[in-house]
Amino acid sequence: MNHRVVVTGMGCISPLGADCREAEAALREARDCVTPVTAFDVSGCKCQSAGQVSDDWLARSAEIIRPARRWDRASQMMLLATAEALGGRADFQPDAAIIATTSGGMTCGEKFYRALESGRPLPRHAAHWVREYLPQQPVLAAMGTLGLADRL
């Protein structure tokens, strides 16, 4: 039995660009998107450059839902890519959504570990970092925000 699949939307945010169009253009131009790391302190690291998503691009996630400005980077990226895939249509309810990403849930665990390692008292909201540690958390946050939670 043959089944056909139709891709009706796609979203992307990466060091190559803030959306699919920009990322495709960067690939076609063979643009080097490796820059000095600015997202966190790398003074004690051997490598101090990498591909990183611009904070300016991530700030657009708050245009979709204001609390997203407090979300971790991976969740903001997931929200932006999922919103792009839906084409800005809140009424669009796909039968299936395929998420291909590194997901970035590890950043929350890393924050918790670094806070513990510092020897300072943990912030009141530190338990939130552990709860958000699940690798699928950025996907759950984006899909819930965009009304797709019942598709999980």
Instruction: Transcribe 66-135 into DSSP letters.
Output: GGGGGS-HHHHHHHHHHHHHTTT-TT---S-----S---THHHHHHHHHHHHH-SPPPTTHHHHHHTTST
Report yes or no on whether pTM surpasses 0.75.
no
Give the DSSP H or E segment for 27. helix 20-28
Token pair for residue 58? Answer: 């991530």
Residue positions counted in the chain: 152
Question: Which of 10-24, 43-57, 106-120 has the weakest average pLDDT?
Answer: 106-120
Higher pLDDT, 31 or 111: 31
Q: Distance between CA atoms of 33 and 26, rounded to whole angstroms? A: 8
Contacting residues for 145 by C-beta, under 8 A, at least 6 apart = 64, 65, 68, 79
In the prediction, which pLDDT does 108 show?
A: 65
Is the C-alpha dihedral spanning 27, 139, 101, 85 positive or negative?
negative
121: β partners: none
- Assess contact for 47 and 133: CB atoms under 8 A: no
Is the confidence at residue 72, as pLDDT, over 60?
yes
In the prediction, which pLDDT does 130 show?
A: 64
In the prediction, which pLDDT does 3 show?
A: 78
Q: Distance between CA atoms of 148 and 48, rounded to whole angstroms? A: 38
Is the confidence at residue 43, as pLDDT, over 80?
yes
In the prediction, which pLDDT does 56 show?
A: 92
Is the confidence at residue 139, as pLDDT, over 90?
no
Segment 39-49 mean pLDDT: 86
